[in-house]
Amino acid sequence: MNMWILRSLALGGLFFVSACSILSPKAEYIPEEEELKAATVGTPYFFKIDILGGPVIGQSTSLIIMPNDTGIFLRNCQMEKWRITKKTKDTHDYNCVEIYGTPTKIGVMKITLSGGMYGSMIAPASEFSKEYKLNVTQP
């Protein structure tokens, strides 16, 4: 009987450890494709990327665009007005990134989004990173 209890505890512990690693927040992105809708020199460009899987830690977010002198910029979206209350301290939605601007040069831009996601009682915090390509063409 004691051996049965030990086996049950060992199996339960193994299940708990594997469940925690499965429950870790894993980022998913909309769009999933690595190549974004093409931009045209001289034409205003706007595109949104959503990060799903859990709340993104605002202070950990890194938005990088290379090269950075092309007229295209990155920023976190603003929260929807209905979500903002008197207690809201930061009105940025870190689960959303906007790509905006008017391209000035042709070529391929590399956009990198990275950061961390909050954990919970049963799941540890996790990191994410995603790269996109934005092709800028002549009109």
pLDDT digit string (tens) for 84-130? 888 888 888 899 999 999 999 999 999 999 999 998 888 888 999 99
Q: What is the rounded average pLDDT for all residues in the chain?
A: 86
SS3 106: coil
Alpha-carbon distance 134 to 51, whole Å? 18
pLDDT class of 5 with cuts at 50, 70, 90: low
> What's residue 4's pLDDT?
67
> What's residue 109's pLDDT?
96
DSSP state of 118: -
Cis before residue 55, ω within 30 degrees of 0?
no
Alpha-carbon distance 58 to 70, whole Å? 26
Q: What is the 3-state secondary structure (H, E, C) of 1-62?
A: CHHHHHHHHHHHHHHHHHHHHHCCCCCEEECCCCECCCEECCCCEEEEEEEECCCECHHHCE
Q: Answer left, alpha or beta for residue 53, where phi above 0 means left and psi between -120 and 50 means alpha.
A: left
pLDDT digit string (tens) for 13-70? 555 554 444 556 689 999 999 999 999 999 999 999 999 998 999 888 899 999 989 9
For residues 2-16, give the mean pLDDT.
60
Model confidence, pTM:
0.77
Q: Are strands 72-78 and 39-40 parallel, antiparallel or unpaired?
A: unpaired
> What's residue 24's pLDDT?
62
- Sheet with 126-137: list strands edge to edge: 39-40, 126-137, 107-117, 62-66
SS3 70: coil
